[in-house]
Chain A
Amino acid sequence: MISVQKLSKQFDGKVILRGLDCEIAKGEKVVILGPSGSGKSTLLRCMNLLEIPDGGEVWFDGKLVTAPDPALHPGMSRSALKAFRAEHGLDEDAARARMGMVFQHFNLFANMTVLQNLTLAPVELGRKTAAEAEETALTLLDRVGLTDKKDEYPARLSGGQKQRIAIVRALCMEPEALLFDEPTSALDPEMVGEVLDVMKDLAKGGMTMAVVTHEMGFAREVADRVLFMDDGSITEEGTPAEVFGSPKTERARDFFRKVL
């Protein structure tokens, strides 16, 4: 479903991603672990072009999301690359509408009520009428137990409530995949569980998920595959049991010793 090829990214000369590859299959749950600064969030943010990669390509459902990287198409002329993009390319807004994102800091729209947060995108993008969008929103709100908050503004909600609503907001677009960027890192400890429960429900429902997190328990329980990133590369990859049980690199061993 999501295919990342030779992805590279630098910020002000500092290399964040070193030409890495990864594949996320439809329905698969992939958890990305690693020390801070290893490039986990950047990898996720490149998938929906919140960061524009310097090199490499991101493919979503067989469509090219980034610009074609000439290095991956040796021998193709400029006009051939252009034609390639026209044939296989997917508009960035269309791609984003099909893969939702959940942020560390929730980013609920502060000027709107919960319900307005949920219905804005589906209505603006012509996916649903206002009435349909509201119906979907209320159904999903009910599923996370927050129907009574529909007319509140985000400033009056707890972190856990905000994050559950942020997940519902992404779901209201009926995405084919969801990207989670440290969804519980900004939460008070007692609120982590309620958010993870919603994510586990989604996982059970078959959603394709890429999750950057430090929640090892979640990774163990939900992940089909774990990626361990270090210094801009994926250095370990496998089932949770494989990666946690017998890490191959010293760096990963050291990391798991500290966090597990």
Chain B
Amino acid sequence: MNFAEKLVELFSTEKYILPFLEGLKMTLVISLGASLLGLVLGIVVALVQIAPKSKAMAVPKIITSVYVTVIRGTPMALQLIIMAFGILAIKGFPLTVTAILAFGINSGAYVSENIRGGILSVDIGQTEAGRALGLSRGTTMRKIVIPQAIKNVLPSIGNELIALIKETSIVSMIGMYDLTMAAKDVGSGSKLASYVVPMTAAAVFYLAIVYLITFGIKLLEKRLRAGDKRSKTV
């Protein structure tokens, strides 16, 4: 059997494709949960970090800055292992939740930096104009700055989302059955007698997910760029 025939066999044989779909489901669940958690964490952390200095904000500012430094400064694989076999090594604690937490917390640190950068990239004149009209800091943020920041950060958030999805391929380290693990499983000791074929199949799945996300982000971006000259001219 050549490569193409094996690939066809993989997709058409139940005992091969079913484990794949099971793994795909896990990859999607972890990715979705972690990206939502990451987004929420990222927004909260970014808002804390750009808030004006005050007594009440001093401790939150220190906590968030330590969080971002530690998470961005250590490998994801180690964070996952420490989470699974250290912090959350509780009997009966669902591994899926552990993985969502580990990846979400990791993603949040990167997303927060993206969002912070996005907010800071909005011209300070926009804030001044809002405040000069008598609008509060919160209203100015909500109505004027954040909508413009979202437009600015969308491409980098998309990047982060894509990186996150592919990064989840290391969850087999803590014994979880995701898309990559399924590929290893199907390849090992089976009639396929090939790692390359199932790995290629898994790659196709990842590519499809990433492509869909890229497409969605582009669509969203186009809608948000309504007020932008770039949308129609160049």
**Chain A residues close to B by CB (< 8 Å):** 48, 50, 93-94, 96-98, 100-101, 103, 105, 107-113, 120-121, 124-125, 153-156, 166, 169-170, 173
How far apart are the CA atoms of A155 and B233 in the complex, in Å? 12
Q: What residues on A are CB-neighbors of B228 within 8 Å?
A: 110, 153, 155
Known: A103-B129, A107-B128. A93 touches B135 (CB 8 A): yes
**With an 8 A cutoff between CB atoms, is B234 at the interface?**
no
6 chain-A/chain-B pairs, Cβ below 8 angstroms: A93-B131, A96-B133, A109-B144, A120-B143, A156-B229, A170-B132
**How far apart are A161's CB and chain B's nearest CB, in angstroms?**
14
Contact partner of B129 (CB less than 8 A), chosen from A97, A108, A155, is A108
How far apart are the CA atoms of A50 and B133 in the complex, in Å? 11
How far apart are the CA atoms of A103 and B143 in the complex, in Å? 20
Asked whether B148 lies within 8 Å of A111 as measured between CB atoms, the reply is yes
How far apart are the CA atoms of A107 and B123 in the complex, in Å? 9
List the 4 shortest-distance A-B pairs measured between CB atoms, nearest first: A97-B134, A107-B129, A153-B227, A107-B125
Contact partner of A111 (CB less than 8 A), chosen from B129, B135, B227, is B227
**Chain B residues close to A by CB (< 8 Å):** 123, 125-126, 128-136, 139, 143-144, 147-148, 151, 226-229
How far apart are the CA atoms of A100 and B139 in the complex, in Å? 18
Known: A110-B227, A112-B227. A100 touches B133 (CB 8 A): yes
How far apart are the CA atoms of A87 and B195 in the complex, in Å? 80
Asked whether B134 lies within 8 Å of A93 as measured between CB atoms, the reply is yes
How far apart are the CA atoms of A128 and B209 in the complex, in Å? 48
Q: What residues on A are CB-neighbors of B229 within 8 Å?
A: 155-156
The closest CB in chain B to the CB of A108 belongs to B129
Asked whether A109 lies within 8 Å of B132 as measured between CB atoms, the reply is no
Q: What residues on A are CB-neighbors of B147 within 8 Å?
A: 111
Asked whether A48 lies within 8 Å of B135 as measured between CB atoms, the reply is no
How far apart are the CA atoms of A133 and B77 in the complex, in Å? 56
How far apart are the CA atoms of A116 and B112 in the complex, in Å? 29
Asked whether B125 lies within 8 Å of A103 as measured between CB atoms, the reply is yes
Central interface residue in A107, A111, A154, by most chain B CB within 10 Å = A111
Asked whether B126 lies within 8 Å of A100 as measured between CB atoms, the reply is no
Asked whether A105 lies within 8 Å of B125 as measured between CB atoms, the reply is yes
Known: A111-B144, A153-B227, A155-B229. A124 touches B128 (CB 8 A): no
Asked whether B125 lies within 8 Å of A50 as measured between CB atoms, the reply is no
Asked whether B139 lies within 8 Å of A110 as measured between CB atoms, the reply is no
How far apart are the CA atoms of A107 and B134 in the complex, in Å? 15
The closest CB in chain B to the CB of A120 belongs to B143
Q: What residues on B are CB-neighbors of A105 within 8 Å?
A: 123, 125
Asked whether A173 lies within 8 Å of B134 as measured between CB atoms, the reply is yes
Contact partner of A109 (CB less than 8 A), chosen from B130, B134, B136, B151, is B130
Q: What residues on B are CB-neighbors of A173 within 8 Å?
A: 133-134
Contact partner of A121 (CB less than 8 A), chosen from B135, B151, B226, B227, is B135
How far apart are the CA atoms of A216 and B52 in the complex, in Å? 39
Asked whether B125 lies within 8 Å of A93 as measured between CB atoms, the reply is no
How far apart are the CA atoms of A86 and B192 in the complex, in Å? 82
Central interface residue in A94, A98, A105, by most chain B CB within 10 Å = A105
Known: A109-B144, A111-B148. A101 touches B132 (CB 8 A): yes
Asked whether A96 lies within 8 Å of B126 as measured between CB atoms, the reply is no
**How far apart are A114's CB and chain B's nearest CB, in angstroms?**
11
- 14 more A-B contacts (CB under 8 A) besides A110-B126, A173-B134? A93-B134, A96-B133, A97-B133, A98-B134, A101-B129, A107-B128, A111-B151, A113-B227, A121-B135, A124-B139, A153-B227, A155-B227, A155-B228, A170-B132
Q: What residues on A are CB-neighbors of B136 within 8 Å?
A: 93
